[in-house]
Homo-oligomer: A and B are copies of this chain.
Amino acid sequence: MPEKLDGATRLFPIIGDPIEFVKSPQQLTRGFKLRDYNGLCVPMQVAKADLEPVMQALTLTGNVDGLLVTMPHKVAAFACCATSSDTARLLRCVSVIRRNPDGTWHGDMLDGLAFVKAQTDRGARLKDGRALLVGAGAAGSAIAIALLTAGVRELIIYDADESRATHLKALLSDLDRNRVRVGPADPVGCTLVFNATPMGLAETDPLPVSADLLDSSMFVGDVIAGHGMTPLLKAAQSAGCKTSSGVEMVDAVQEMMLDFFLLGQHSGRST
């Protein structure tokens, strides 16, 4: 058990449904322990329709200092936050929430930042890079914001559903500065190739980009955690590319959540 689990333990529930497969209870709690902090991440199975009363109760519970928000609550939880980061406001969703000094909630979305950190930790050069991003869903949108903030020169967005890519480009208008375009899943000429689709969860999935278009000048990153190496990353390494896996992104998210909860970091300008 956490060395310090007692009446003074501070709680950081993760709310979602289903909840039984989340990893944050063990991972974040281990992180608290490593930082010598008496905190605990506990799972709470909360159905979509029940978010509001549960949020109200957690707001009233004095030793709940933060929340992790997962499916299906990421969008609805944004509305429960009095303040939020620029990224959260742009995406209108949150993955983590902490207390403001007055007890209200401040929300943030750390997935994109964590993805970027995982890439740079493994040697990717984002500034002035030319990036292909495959996948314009929730993860892809967060990553696109983080890539533009990190200074990529060009961002090509591809999604099998082109309207999603177009919608994401529109969402990015404030950050765009003529850097974003919707294009095909063609990595040729790119220095950065990122997968933000579910492709690769199964070994038999098709690759999000053609393996024979990869070359060693490209850095390839993937959001898929699971087993670490996806077919895309295997193909990339065969082509001589440096890579970063979803497992490294998950590790980065854990550290960023600890910084967010304990140090008040990662929130940019707040409103």
Which residues of A are interface residues toward B (Cβ below 8 A)? 1-2, 5-9, 11, 14, 17, 19-23, 25-26, 29-30, 33, 40, 42-47, 50, 53-54, 56-58, 60-64
Contacts and interface: CB of A to CB of B under 8 A. Distances in A.
A204 to B, nearest CB: 27
B1 A33 contact: yes
A42 B1 contact: no
A154 to B, nearest CB: 39
A61 B46 contact: yes
Contacts of A57: 50, 53-54, 56-58
Taken together, the copies of this chain in the complex come to: 2
B42 A62 contact: no
B60 A17 contact: no
A61 B44 contact: yes
Given A6-B23, A8-B20, A19-B7, A63 B43 contact: yes
Given A29-B1, A54-B57, A57-B57, A45 B62 contact: yes
Contacts of A19: 7, 62-63
A93 B178 CA distance: 67
A9 B47 contact: no
Contact of A45 (B21, B33, B43, B63): B63
A22 B43 contact: no
8 contacts: A1-B33, A6-B43, A19-B63, A40-B40, A45-B63, A47-B62, A50-B57, A50-B60
A47 B62 CA distance: 8
Contact of A61 (B7, B11, B45): B45
A41 to B, nearest CB: 8
A1 B50 CA distance: 29
Which one of A2, A6, A19, A20 has the greatest number of beta carbons of chain B within 10 Å? A6
Which one of A11, A21, A45 has the greatest number of beta carbons of chain B within 10 Å? A45
